[in-house]
Chains A and B, each alone.
Chain A
Amino acid sequence: MEEIKVLDNKKKMNTKPVSNHSGCEGCPSYREGNLKRLGINVPNFDFVVAVTGNPNVGKSTVFNALTGLRQHTGNWPGKTVTRAEGGFNFDNQNFKLVDLPGAYSLVSRSADEEIARNFILFGKPDVTLIVVDATRLERNLNLVLQILEITEQVVVCLNLVDEAERMGIKIDDRSLTRDLGVPVIPTSARYKKGLQELLGAISDVANRRYPIKAHNKSYRNGKLSKAVEKVGYQLVSDFPELENSEWLAERVLDEDEDIIEALKSGELLNHIQTEEDYSIYDAKKLREDGLKIPFRYEEPVSEIEKLAQSLKKDLIPNFHDELVENHFIEAGKIAHHCVTYPDKKKELYLDQFIDRIVTSRIWGFPLMFLMLAVVLWITIIGANYPSQGLAWVLLDQGHPFLKDLMTQIGMPWWLNGILIDGMYMATAWVISVMLPPMAIFFPLFTLLEDFGYLPRVAFNLDRLFKAAGSHGKQALTMSMGFGCNAAGIISTRIIDSPRERLIAIITNNFALCNGRWPTQILIAALFIGGLAPAYLAGLLSSAAVILVAVLGIFLTFVVSWALSKTILKGEASAFSLELPPYRPPRIWQTLYKSLIDRTIFVLWRAIIFALPAGALIWLVANLYIGESSLAEHMISFMNPFGILIGLNGVILLAYIVAIPANEIVIPTILMLTVMVTGATGMGEGAGVMFEMDSKDALMHLLQAGGWTLLTAVNLMIFSLIHNPCSTTIYTIYKETRSIKWTSISALLPLIMGFIVTFLIAQVWRMFV
């Protein structure tokens, strides 16, 4: 295990670090001893290191390897959207690492790229660590050359050299070091190779021990160069302490609003390192809300803008193009000098071979559905046994034991009820039904992700999502939603356009999550299966459940389309989807990481919501107003509306109090049904959720509660189309930081659910 040493003052920092026993000890090249991963505890840091690079170059993997943190990584462009921070101690100095979102460029004005650029510009890190993909060096060098125009304190991490080797690409890193004038360190962060050298280089550059001779070239032609000089001269005379005046002048000429704003506010003159995370879809608004600095230099900067406008008349209209082109020409020259490509791209053939199959006209779609079906099937079947085991321990044994124990120590019955019957029971229920399917689904999904199959799914389905006005990557966030909508919402980070990301967030709820499959399966087996002769019952009820799931996919498209025509109007913004090379999945890391990152993370949020809900469930069943319990009052109040939409008061109340997790809806319905029907010999008493083993007894109970085939059908529909669980709603808020979008995401499906069930009920009653 790694030891995390918390250094709480400067004095302690001089103590010799305790040696660190991580898995790399066996490697002969491992110089043990001077690295301490600090996780997120980076007190009194000596240096700030910004980690940047193109999307999907293994930036997060490098960040994790250096800090010991486990930020989620996947074979996906665009994992990091907010800044993640961590640190390490090397040779008795503390380094704080800031992992920036992936960026292709510093001059393109996408929200992510602005976050990265602003940190390098305004944050003025001591070292900028640029992670580059050795297999796509030429394009990656474009970013390196751009950054070298702003800062010389750079270390280039030439990552994925193992992959490059496999493809037969040879890179002469010494030539590259000479050409760029900054240290270039070949690494394979996935396999923890080259990290010691990387640390050494970071430390050398931070301590200014490395003789940097940064590649310095002007990418501007004569006229632009003159214009830049003039604007730059004006900038320096107005702001003598300004750094990078020529680069900024070029940005002003290119009408870069963000830079002009920063000049006006004076942000560029100060050394600002805010601790704020920038919300992805509203970076600008957040800055206005939280970090707004008044425009102190409105006047001089407006004058400079006017100067720039007048100078622009002499320039060619798309001089931006020429700048990028010149960067690429330079990048091409350097690559030509340092890279040897293989005569025959043999590895590429394997990638292409797999690609031809998984995206073929004949096999593409069937393979996709097969893959999804197999994952869901393994999840549902495989989760049964551990779920039963957990339920036996936590519910059948744990609950009576705890209840007796509390009675014995003399706890009053009502407190015992709230704590054990309510809070414990709800939480235990959530754990036993939620943990096993997630612990199976997420690793399977993560394996497909790690291998690189998922971007191909997005590729195959993009045409459909384009028609709905959204992004192909939504195919993935939707699939993730089949596991858990909260995790699905988090996964929308891979969509870089704010508009398309919001569409994916709002519609994720239509992917039938793990928590709802059991409800569907149970109700279908009881009511739908019963319609057919016994030998067809299983088939018919399965078909009904699949139909509901397919309806969910259909609604995803319809609602996405409707949103993109109304409140989220807009054309698809600059679509681009990179198909990364296939990478052999790392089974154990995947299992471990998906368990920590996704399963435990989501489960923890669910538990936090289940605790108060459990208390609430018990209280409504046990608080009396007059003759009846609060629950009974609420049920009779809501019953007319429930009946109107083909459901009943019990179901509506269950959906209100069981909002933390869809998993506890059915047990709550049963408990409430026993209460209102006054059925004897069933259940565990008021406020105690339970499930039944006997299907006949269950059917009998529900029929006594007034259930018909319509109730069952509408419950299945309502289970698909209703508000997301509170865990998901909270996650939506965390991701969007907007009450408006959170409310829309919660209320839109609820209202739709009411309308659809109402219509079904009316039509049903007309004909049946």
Chain B
Amino acid sequence: MPTLQELKPGKTARVIGLDDNCQGFERFRLLDLGVVPGTEITHALDNPLHEPLAYFIRGAVIALRKNQAAKILVEIKGD
């Protein structure tokens, strides 16, 4: 299944769920930011060093590191 890491700039994806190896506080924090199944996430901003990338999540722009984005399972829209 694709992860958020594969999302191209400007594109939008719908969250399917979080990877099982994302546990504990990291999982809770992502959930609290609104990364729950059904949420739409847009790749909002690239980075001069290509990491972290910023995503538009439920009204807020949030930067996530690659290893976090890789734990968010998504369905990429409009492919």
Contact = CB atoms under 8 A, between A and B. Distances in A.
A466 interface: yes
A577 interface: yes
B79 interface: no
Given A108-B29, A109-B25, A359-B46, A135 B59 contact: yes
Nearest to B63: A577
Nearest to A573: B25
B47 A459 contact: yes
A749 interface: no
Interface string B49-79: 1111010011111111100100000000000
Specify which of B30, B54, B58 lies most central, judged by the most chain A CB atoms within 10 Å of its CB.
B58
Contact of A104 (B17, B33, B54, B64): B33
Interface in A356-375: 356, 359-361, 364-365
Contact of B52 (A137, A139, A324, A577): A577
A107 B39 CA distance: 20
A542 interface: no
B61 to A, nearest CB: 4
B59 A139 contact: yes
B63 A364 contact: no
B71 to A, nearest CB: 11
A352 B44 contact: yes
Interface in A576-614: 576-580
A328 B61 contact: no
Nearest to A361: B48
Contacts of B29: 104, 108, 110, 574, 576
B33 A459 contact: no
A684 interface: no
A108 B58 contact: no
Interface string A548-582: 00000000000000000000000011111111100
A105 interface: yes
A576 B64 contact: yes
A325 B36 contact: yes
A417 to B, nearest CB: 57
Interface residues of B, number: 36
A578 B34 CA distance: 13
A464 interface: yes
A576 B31 contact: no
Interface in B4-52: 17-18, 25-34, 36-39, 44-52
B63 A576 contact: yes
Contacts of B32: 104-105, 108, 142, 324
Nearest to B68: A575
Nearest to A577: B63
Contacts of A328: 34, 36, 39, 58
A579 B46 CA distance: 13
Nearest to B17: A321
B59 A138 contact: yes
Contact of B65 (A135, A329, A466): A466
Interface string A447-484: 00000000000011111101000001000000000000
B25 A574 contact: yes
Contacts of A324: 28, 31-32, 36
Given A109-B25, A110-B29, A578-B61, A325 B37 contact: yes
Contacts of B18: 321
B18 to A, nearest CB: 7
Interface string A93-129: 0000000000011011110000000000000000000
B79 to A, nearest CB: 23
A349 to B, nearest CB: 12
Contacts of A572: 65
Contact of B34 (A108, A139, A321): A139
Contacts of A139: 33-34, 57-60
A166 interface: no
B62 A359 contact: no
A320 B32 CA distance: 11
A651 B47 CA distance: 45
A352 B9 CA distance: 13
Nearest to A328: B36
A355 interface: yes
B29 to A, nearest CB: 4
Contacts of B50: 463
Given A108-B25, A109-B28, A579-B45, 4 more contacts: A320-B31, A325-B37, A361-B48, A462-B63
26 contacts: A104-B32, A105-B28, A105-B32, A135-B59, A136-B60, A139-B33, A139-B59, A325-B37, A328-B36, A328-B58, A329-B38, A352-B45, A355-B45, A355-B61, A359-B48, A360-B48, A361-B46, A364-B48, A459-B63, A462-B52, A463-B49, A464-B49, A466-B52, A574-B68, A578-B60, A578-B61
Interface of B: 17-18, 25-34, 36-39, 44-52, 54, 57-65, 68
CB-CB nearest 5 A-B residue pairs: A463-B49, A108-B28, A104-B32, A136-B59, A364-B48
